[in-house]
Structure 1
């Protein structure tokens, strides 16, 4: 895992940090989840660079992107960041992959900006929304891990909390970088998980969409998946057996096999 090359760009009026994994194929942009700095997706970027040019973003308030009390951490601001990044860095509309919160950000950006992306892959997007069941990962659990990392006790907390342990190198990397996440951004993301309507964004998207779900963890239920298919009859659905929400870390072999098939469907 070489970690890609890190750069900063000013886009949407803030400093956005990203990792670049050069490749000759179709450009791919990854938007990670709620407390996942870009570095935690380095192994995915390394793999994708065999067939694609890949960018992995630090969402505002995470990793080395701009953070602080002056920032709006809401969904619309994050979606505007993504649009500005793509407008600045991509010469052609890329394939966008969003995981968890990143899937919600990507869906909002692509729904509101036709032509922004060639296609969209949603990895286990939270389906909570007004009037729907809550996001199954409690806020207290996420904050507990973050605060443990800020105290310098992240590795122990991660090991104790993981039902499906990550490989040791990724666990250590997670413990190192978790403390970079702004707690205010976590609160804002959870508020938007329950206050914003993901299904409305999904229905408005005008490009091909694939949905990749974890078999375990309960983030996307079978009823959720079928509702999404009802909104988008052409939706491609894949479910990865034996993994939870952090599929890209828990079992990379299974994850990469499924994602590779999905990406082949979106080639142009």
Structure 2
């Protein structure tokens, strides 16, 4: 049985930071802007299920195809660094007229959100929700998913896979999200994946973590190898003012693994960022 893959977001194409970017937009104009930044192998369409829920919380949600993914431009080799991604976000915020957006980033997207806030909006960025950012880096352990594992999944998708093939890697996911990944993973450029994975081990999230300002919340999966218990304690110790919250029964792909649990954790923060209705 084929699961529906209807996408409710409006597709918009813009130019920012020298590249063509496709974004999906959800919700009503005039609502608080929320920018969702996906992970290393997640085109915007793969976050559709999450964007729909977040738009229902009173937000105008924007999800980009990050450079090298989906329908956005590919970049030259060497241009998949955190500084490149952060500059893309700054360009998108400007060209789309996002008003001090809340920024929710997952995995790679959480690292990009932190870099954007520090490098481009140190005094006036909106609240940050950082979901399971890779905490590997120089002097730390390797990222728990190997480059070869990413490439194996990418090549499987390029050759043609289905929900059952994806289920071998993500057994707890809903059927629709398995099918979405099966259909759209192949839109991720191999150079983008390889160079971003290298960045997980050469660019340190902890270079940005102490410099974050304003409302920040870090959310991790209770079973995630990317932000394990010891690292969570280090995050709390180095920034005791930033809540580090845990979603139970979730690995690294937190909202995919346990959407109700994820929404339970983030909903109070999302509601607190909304302006009171007159």
Q: TM-score range by the shorter chain?
A: over 0.9
Residues 1:159 and 2:167 are matched in the alignment: yes
SS in 1 for 2:129: strand
Asked if 2 retains the 8 angstrom alpha-carbon contact of 1:146 and 1:154, the reply is no
SS in 1 for 2:156: helix
Range moving further from structure 2, 109-118 or 183-192: 109-118
**Contact 1:83-1:116 at 8 Å conserved across structures:** no
Tell whether the 8 Å contact from 1:136 to 1:217 is kept in structure 2 after alignment: no
Which consecutive residues of structure 1, in runs of 5 or more, have no partner in the other structure? none
Structure 2 unaligned regions, length at least 5:
1-5
3-state SS in 1 of match to 2:32:
coil
Over residues 126-179 of structure 1, what are the superposed CA-to-partner deviations in whole Å (9 max), with x where a residue is unaligned? Answer: 1001001111122221111110000112544312222x3311111111111000
User: Residue 145 of structure 2: which of 132, 137, 141 is its match?
Assistant: 137
What residue is the counterpart of 2:19 in the other structure?
14
Matches within 5 A, 1:1-268: 2-23=7-28, 24-50=30-56, 51-67=58-74, 69=76, 72-113=79-120, 114-115=122-123, 117-153=125-161, 155-162=163-170, 164-268=171-275
User: Once superposed, which parts of structure 1, at least 4 consecutive aligned residues long, lie more than 4 Å away?
Assistant: 68-71
The answer (yes or no) to whether the contact 1:93–1:116 under 8 Å persists in 2 is yes
**Structure 1 position 233, deviation (Å):** 2.4
> d(CA) in 1 for partners of 2:27 and 2:157?
31
Distance 1:40 1:265 in 2: 27
Cα drift, residue 223 of structure 1: 2.1
After superposition, the Cα gap between the structure-2 partners of 1:32 and 1:7, relative to the gap in structure 1 and judged at 3 Å, is same
Give the distance between the partners of 1:52 and 1:222, measured in 2 at CA. 32
> What CA deviation, in whole Å up to 9, does each residue of 1:244-268 have, x standing for no partner?
1112112211122212123234445
TM-score of the pair, normalised by structure 2: 0.90
What secondary structure sits across from 1:16 in the alignment?
A: strand
8 Å contact from structure 2 (residues 7, 45) kept in 1: no
Root-mean-square deviation (Å): 1.7
